[in-house]
Amino acid sequence: MNGTPLPGGPAAAIRAGIYLVPEDRRRTGLVTPMTIRENITLPALDRYSTVGMLDFGKELSESQRLSKELRVKCSSVEQKVVTLSGGNQQKVVLAKWMALNPKLLIFDEPTRGIDVGAKAEIYDLMRALAEKGVAVMMISSDMEEVLGESQRVIVMHEGSIAGHLTREQCSEEAIMNLAVGHHTPELTP
């Protein structure tokens, strides 16, 4: 972090404040039989516990605050996440990491499988996080999403970085040239 490698794998990344909003939120981002409250507070139960006992009031208050802040459409935080729309499930995944004060959030295909209105809300939340100083990294195969939401684009080809593009350099053609292995010297610093 901050220019130095992070040894120790996922546990070290989590300790450093790096969190993943995964592509498959139902299988790897949420515990679907659990409630919104339980999903939001699960990664940080120690923050809601005193002497090993869970402080339900503190847990409830924080999950309600984050649900409201992220505009999760639900009857209450006691609603099971499996009953939520894809966009609202994505907001719950984001809420659980926001509760931990992230330094870097990695969004893997952040709007896959959600409706247009929810996409706009997710983009707004990503921008708000960046404005608060959280580094936001988006992995996306949606060209419109990449062109519309990125300040800088790093293009991969066969598992390696093919090039970096600033917002001004970004175009569908420039990205596709790098993605298929055609390096353009003026685009790669």
Nearest Cα to 20, choosing from 88, 142, 102?
A: 102
> Is this model's pTM higher than 0.75 or not?
yes
For 148, other C-beta atoms within 10 Å of its C-beta total: 10
Give residue 188's pLDDT: 45
- Per-residue tokens: 135: 């580094």
189 residues of the chain, pLDDT tens digit each? 566 777 788 888 888 999 999 999 989 999 999 999 999 999 988 888 988 899 999 999 999 999 999 999 999 999 999 999 999 999 999 999 998 989 999 999 999 888 888 889 999 999 999 999 999 999 999 999 999 999 999 999 999 999 999 999 999 999 999 999 876 545 444
Task: Return all residues near 60 (Cβ < 8 A) that are at least 6 apart.
Answer: 37, 77
What is the set of domains in the chain, with CATH numbers? 18-140 (3.40.50.300), 151-184 (no CATH)
Question: Helix or strand or coil: residue 51?
Answer: coil
Nearest Cα to 136, choosing from 174, 94, 96, 168?
A: 94
Nearest Cα to 80, choosing from 131, 133, 27, 38?
A: 38
